Structure 1
Amino acid sequence: MTRKAENVIVGVSIGDLNGVGSEVILKTFQDTRMLEFCTPVIFGNVKILSFIKKVLNINCNVYGIDSLDQVVPGKLNVLNVWKEGVNIDFGKNDDTIGKYAIQSFTAAVAALKAKDIDVLVTAPINKYNIQSEDFKFPGHTDYLDKELEGDALMFMVQDDLRVGLLTDHIPVNEVSAHLTEALIRKKILTINKSLKEDFRVNRPKIAVLGVNPHSGDNGVIGHEDDDVVKPALKKLFEEGVMVFGPYSADSFFGSGQYEKYDAVIAAYHDQGLIPFKTLSFGKGVNYTAGLEGIRTSPDHGTAYEIAGKGIADNNSFKEAVYLALDIYNHRQEYADVTKNPLKTREKQL
């Protein structure tokens, strides 16, 4: 049974408290209409959020709770993950603040695993100050991949523009070594499945960008595209996956070719994210596809340079909330269709 919108619980990890995360969270839920779409639960500390909203002059009410069974629909709930005070110094890189960011995040992931929350939206963290003996991950995605079932894939989304990555947070000089037919196959199948279940695309068309300039120019500029990428795509296409490429990355977005496909897969981080953020910055969302749980985040970082000034744009965070809710509903619909195909066919007739 589909739950009422306001009863869908959106867990929110607090991110780096010295960055803009708290500001964009509070600004998003300052609009009380958001509480008609979901019930937010911020994993943090109600005293800290009250302090930050006062400093930034954000007019919204926060409701402190000590356990998830105390969540109140129609309220901006703040789960007290810790009780002690925290010194906030906007714009400063602080290892202690990093510790609280991860405490919030891991508590939220545990709640997502336990199905105590329905979706997770993560505020930006600083990848440097989160490292510790207990947390040795480059960022959110790698930890989610470990904790949640499936194969995590970074999927950048803004309306019909969707860009996935074969490799993400690795050095450029290691990209070639990581690209194997097995990896390419896994990532493309993950995106194909996500497009069907999460985005309601019945027969996805996927474009893949070449690794080398001009996709290698038939081996003149590198061999990876001919020896690894093309054979992997050929096998998938023969199996019925509508995958095309590899395409020369330099002109693919500028020429508008991306508009012909439901998703584009880049070989490495900057190859995909530079054009994506150029086309969508401020409205894009980072979605972690391929997992049992649903997690989204804004497409920006901690933005220390403007933290505490009250000028952060919350549109990307708001879009992250919307996308998480859309995917939640799409998965419910997909599950219903899968279970009752005849009933669905009767409705269409």
Structure 2
Amino acid sequence: MDEPPHLRPGRRTAAWAGGLLLAVPAVVTCCRLLDTDAVTPVPQLLSFLPWLTVPAGLAVLLAAFARRRGLALLAAAVLAGTLWTLLPYGPDTTTARGPVAARVRVLAANVEYGRATEALIATIRRERPQLVYVSECDRACGRAVTGAFAAELPHHASVDADGSLGSVLLSAHPLRDRATVPGAMGMPGATTDIGGRAVRVQLAHPLPPMPGRVHRWKRELGALRDEAARRAPAPLLLAGDFNASQDHAALRAVLDAGRLHDAARLAGSARTPTWPLGSPLPPYVQIDHVLVSDDFAVRDVRFLDLAGTDHRAVLADLDLHTGR
């Protein structure tokens, strides 16, 4: 039986609305499945990928209401693809071998131009990490944290600069072979001895993928990828504000090149958002990470709110194995 004429305009409107709702999830999910970050606005929209299941699901309902079989099948395929991308990236365990050589607590925090310095100091005193990676730590922040922990974390590698350009890496263990990965913002690194093993510790803070400088974001994540590949398969702890989530091909390339694992993924919290805090929107994307090589097992990961910054800090409890 033909539908009444007065219903047809409503179904046509539903079909158009479903098609429009489907456009962004289709393009972004396709780029994710093809392992590319493409160009603006795809890198920015990839940060919202889990939330694109909402318009994709609405598109399925509208296409079904409109009785557009082809559109409904397409919408269902896009929804299925988007849901598939929500799976955590990478294996759920490392292949760490041998007995535990040392237990390590790592803290990674972006203190937003140094504004969360006091909160960071209080957190370090409470949690007592052995390694601390601090992004957007300006000169005053650097002096404050190194001075406050001259006894507990006496060793540091830093890039001393103003605003978001400064970074500092604090360690309870002596540091050597200090070097920085090239980037607009400071990314210091060094080698330390933990439990009788030489471990490379590297801070990550590439530029964000803002329109007009996505190419620089890719280049700086590429530099981190090259550093990770150069260090593999030796023990490596690469942590900080990556300005990228597991949905960005540039971050997945870092993981793959260095044979690294996201500690949050291993702890079962791969999708816990770390940014932005204190904005009209609730935190919706995880861009702060602690990445570990296969020499480590993860005991626990927690996400901490620090007053004064728009990032959650990542606190990871790790076991470093002997490898034999």
Query: Based on CA coordinates, which of the two structures has the bigger radius of gyration?
Result: 2
**TM-score, normalised with respect to structure 1:** 0.28
By percentage of residues, which structure has more strand?
Answer: 2
Task: Choose between structure 1 and 2 for higher RCO, CA contacts under 8 A separated by at least 6 residues.
Answer: 1
Structure with more of its chain in helix, by fraction: 1
